[in-house]
Chain A
Amino acid sequence: MSPRRIRTWSWLHTWSSLVCTAFLLMLCLTGLPLVFHDEIDDALNPERWQPAHPGTARLDLDELLARALAARPGEVPLFLSFDTDRPVVNVTSGAHPSVSEAAMHFASWDWTSGARVPPADNGEALMHFLLQLHTDLFLGLPGMLFLGAMGVLFTVAVVSGVVLYGPFMRKLDFGTVRTRRSPRVKWLDYHNLLGIVTLAWVLLVTLTGVVNTLAEPIVERWRQVALADLVAGRDGEGVPRQPSSLQAAVDAARAAAPGMVLQFVAFPGVAFTTNHHYAIFLHGNTPLTEHLVTPVLVDARDGTLIGLREMPWYAKALSLSKPLHFGDYAGLPLKILWAALTVITLIVLGSGVYLWLVRRANAAPPLVSAVAEQAGRRESGAA
């Protein structure tokens, strides 16, 4: 590689890293507790809730929904979700279907008795704060897109770092750490070693993070394009005042997608459906397909099954990006690995900033100059 190219890649690596480093540090620090959110929830809420009638038939969903809405007079149902490990139905309600997320109300109900399940919310406020900071900096879609841009910039930093790894390591065995040389050389070796071995993981987490920042546009496109043909000619009116049976709609969806698992229901008027369709989302039952949902639309005016649609590729990419980003898809050992690799990434980021600061403070000749000069001598020799 010519000296000029080395300097160009070095400039790109330095400045793409420096611009996004503060945000990457924040994402690593907030991501660490989020990886363990299940374990933290369990530790902070040790009392185990039990259903009133374990093993018995579950209540009709219309009855359960009526009880939930009786506790929230004047509100309409927005979403219904189902716990995977216990007979619990979660009801999200609000003053109207287009209410903001902050104004929604969430409550859990025992599917066997219709009794309210006490919220296990110790530590929930802190985890919610960390998730919001990690996801969108409390800025909504602009914040998400900004963090996505930082992810793209970090990808540039990683790729340019890989390009520079070759010239820097040309005369060294893999993994060499020159501890007897100056702190600057020692930390450069740590930076190179830890950066190159974690490359695959860093790229995976960064690129899936970028995809996750596009969640809102992706869902909106899916709703408008992919589901449009299902509801063509059937939309355009207001939300029905007396919607058809929820239980019948769910039964019809299950019959249309046998072997799939009920995940959640979006009520007419909310973002995931139209003004007069239940959108019933089911997911697969294998380790891979449990991350992929299939929506079934049922007309909420008369209970007619409209049909189901497999997710388009971009929605599948979004669904698979969530577990691949948070590392919560293969149990505690993988989560611990995720945490360890996050700490290593913090070291790589910190050492990068250190190397830049030391170079500026000492006005020392940049290490890249030495490498570029060597490369120049090699090119001259070859000529």
Chain B
Amino acid sequence: MRTWGTPAAVGVISAAGLVSALLGDGVVDALATAAAAAPLAVATWALLARRR
């Protein structure tokens, strides 16, 4: 869980965003793009908070 929890969550959220952006316009696109951007958000957080 320690190793795989966050990567699995990021993968599921970003995959859902990437696919659901195909299904709608407007607000759906915006929400889907935000979900698809999860890798960027998590990588940025890790690079800022997990440097040691």
A, B in one complex: yes
Nearest-CB distance from A91 to chain B (Å)?
31
With a cutoff of 8 Å between Cβ atoms, the chain A residues found around residue B11 in the complex are 199-200
Given A175-B50, A330-B32, is A169 in contact with B14 using a C-beta cutoff of 8 Å? Answer: no
Q: Is A344 part of the contact surface with B, judged by Cβ < 8 Å?
A: yes
A329-B25 Cα distance, complex, nearest whole Å: 9
Best-surrounded residue of A197, A329, A337, A344 (most CB of chain B within 10 A): A197
Docked Cα-Cα span, A287 to B26, in Å, equals 10
Binding site for B on A (CB under 8 A): 165-166, 169-170, 173-180, 193-194, 196-201, 204, 287-288, 291, 320, 323-324, 329-331, 333-334, 337, 340-341, 344
Quick check: A287 and B22 within 8 Å, CB to CB? yes
Contact B39 A334 (CB under 8 A): no
Q: Do A193 and B43 have beta carbons less than 8 Å apart?
A: yes
Q: Given contacts A199-B7, A200-B14, A333-B33, is CB(A174)–CB(B22) below 8 Å?
A: no
Question: Which partner residue on chain A sits nearest B28 by CB separation?
Answer: A287
- Residues B12-46 near A (CB distance < 8 A): 12, 14-15, 18, 21-25, 28-30, 32-33, 36-40, 42-43, 45-46
Check if B29 sits within 8 Å of A320, measured CB to CB.
no
- Hey, which bits of chain B sit against chain A, CB under 8 A? 2-7, 10-12, 14-15, 18, 21-25, 28-30, 32-33, 36-40, 42-43, 45-47, 49-52
B29 / chain A contacts, CB cutoff of 8 Å: 330-331, 333-334
- Judging by beta carbons under 8 Å apart, are B10 and A330 in contact? no
Chain B neighbourhood of A337, CB < 8 A: 33, 36-37, 40
Chain A interface helix/strand/loop/mixed: helix
**In the complex, A288 Cα to B32 Cα: how many Å?**
14
| Chain A residues closer than 8 Å to B5, beta-carbon distance | 174
**Taking A197-B43, A323-B22 as contacts, is the C-beta distance between A176 and B52 under 8 angstroms?**
yes
CB-CB under 8 A for A324 and B18, given A175-B6, A197-B43, A340-B40: yes
Whether the Cβ atoms of A175 and B36 lie closer than 8 Å is: no
Apart from A174-B6, A329-B22, A331-B33, list 7 A-B contacts with CB within 8 A.
A166-B3, A196-B10, A200-B14, A287-B25, A320-B22, A323-B22, A341-B40
Question: With a CB–CB cut-off of 8 A, which chain B residues contact A340?
Answer: 40
Contact assessment for A201 and B39 in the assembled complex, using a CB-CB cutoff below 8 Å: yes
Complex Cα distance A322/B7, Å? 26
CA distance A333 to B27 in the complex (A): 12
Question: Does A194 lie within 8 Å of B3, measured CB to CB?
Answer: no
Task: Tell me if A177 and B33 are in contact (CB < 8 A).
Answer: no
What B residues does A341 contact at CB under 8 A? 39-40
For A172, give the chain B residue with the smallest CB separation.
B3
Sampled A-B contacts (26; CB under 8 Å) = A174-B2, A175-B46, A175-B47, A175-B49, A176-B52, A180-B52, A196-B7, A197-B10, A197-B39, A197-B42, A198-B39, A198-B43, A199-B7, A201-B18, A201-B36, A204-B18, A287-B24, A323-B22, A324-B18, A329-B21, A330-B21, A331-B29, A333-B29, A333-B30, A334-B29, A334-B32
- The minimal Cβ–Cβ distance linking B24 to chain A, given in whole angstroms, is 6
Residue from B3, B21, B45 within 8 A of A334 (CB atoms):
B21
B30 to chain A: closest CB distance in Å?
7
Output the least CB separation between B22 and chain A (Å).
Answer: 6
Which of chain A's residues have a CB closer than 8 A to the CB of B49?
Answer: 175
The answer on a CB contact under 8 Å between B15 and A200 is yes
Whether B46 contacts A288 by the Cβ 8 Å rule is no
A324 to B14, CA, bound (A): 13
B36/A194 in contact, CB under 8 A: no
Distance, CA A199 to CA B33, complexed state (A)? 16
- Choose among B6, B15, B23 the residue that contacts A288 (Cβ–Cβ < 8 A): B23
Question: In the assembled complex, how far is the CB of residue A168 from the closest CB belonging to chain B, in whole angstroms?
Answer: 9
The 5 closest A-B pairs by CB, nearest first: A175-B46, A330-B21, A197-B39, A175-B50, A200-B15
When the two chains form their complex, are residues A334 and B36 in contact, meaning their CB atoms are under 8 A apart? Answer: yes
Which residues of A lie under 8 Å from residue B14 when comparing CB positions? Answer: 200-201
